[in-house]
Amino acid sequence: MRDLPRLALSVRQPSAWAIIAGHKPIENRSIGSIRAGRMTTGRICIHAAAGLKEEEFRYLHWRLDKHGVTCPHPLDLLRGAIIGTIDVTGIITHSDSEWFGGSAGLTLANPEPVEPIPAAGALGYFEWSAGGSLAPPSKWMRKWGTPDADIQADDLFPDAPIAFSTPPKRPW
């Protein structure tokens, strides 16, 4: 394992994946969480948070699709691990970017994936240490995109991407 930054930011999936894949250039946070978390510019690790509720995933899946990004299946998204590094280049309170959607955000550049390292997360910037195990999949994750799920797969076109007739409700 090469030298990685000691500070990390825990981000819910699929946003953590989108950041490290280079699709998401802004991580939205409140100005209060940025101050409380002592967030500044510099190179940090991205930690994929262990928690993920179906309504959060549904909203983020829709949001990524709205930006032209195909979201992986929830079973393909690691949780509970350091998954890459990123440069935080600035802290903004307004932006014309379609990725900005809150009172503040961290601008991001130069994502680099790493071999996943299981680790516990925390709020704000935190000093991480390797340990633990990846989060196991939830029951809803196994059903995502199947005819048994809340979102119905089209029986005529089983390989078609999941679509939403109306935007999902924002879960936070």
The CA-CA-CA angle for residues 28, 44, 46, to 5°, reads 60
167 located within any domain: no
101 located within any domain: yes
Taking 70 as the threshold, does the pLDDT of residue 130 lie above it? yes
The arithmetic mean of pLDDT across residues 16-32, rounded, is: 96
Residue 55: strand, helix, or coil: helix
Give pLDDT, residue 152. Answer: 45
pLDDT tens digits for range 55-113 = 999 999 999 999 899 999 999 999 999 999 999 999 999 999 999 988 999 999 999 99
Measure the CA–CA gap between 117 and 15, rounded to whole angstroms. 18
150 located within any domain: no
Q: Is 40 left (phi over 0), alpha (psi -120 to 50) or beta?
A: beta
Give pLDDT, residue 149. Answer: 53
Q: Which helix (H) or strand (E) holds 88?
A: strand 81-92
Tell me how many domains the chain contains: 1
Give pLDDT, residue 101. Answer: 87
Taking 80 as the threshold, does the pLDDT of residue 168 lie above it? no
51 located within any domain: yes
Residue 32: strand, helix, or coil: helix
Measure the CA–CA gap between 68 and 147, rounded to whole angstroms. 24
pLDDT tens digits for range 103-128 = 999 999 999 999 999 999 999 999 99
169 located within any domain: no
Question: What does the mean pLDDT of the chain come to?
Answer: 88
54: CATH: 2.30.130.30
Mean pLDDT is highest, among 1-10, 134-143, 163-172, for 134-143
Q: Which domain holds residue 26?
A: 7-143
Taking 70 as the threshold, does the pLDDT of residue 165 lie above it? no
Give pLDDT, residue 151. Answer: 46
Q: Which pairing describes strands 42-48 and 104-118: parallel, antiparallel, or unpaired?
A: unpaired
Taking 50 as the threshold, does the pLDDT of residue 13 lie above it? yes
Q: What is the value of pTM for the model shown?
A: 0.85
Measure the CA–CA gap between 58 and 164, rounded to whole angstroms. 9
149 located within any domain: no
Residue appearing with tokens 């440069």: 87
Query: Which one-letter amino acid corresponds to residue 118?
Result: P
162 located within any domain: no
42 located within any domain: yes
Q: What are phi and psi of 62, to 5 degrees?
A: -60, -45
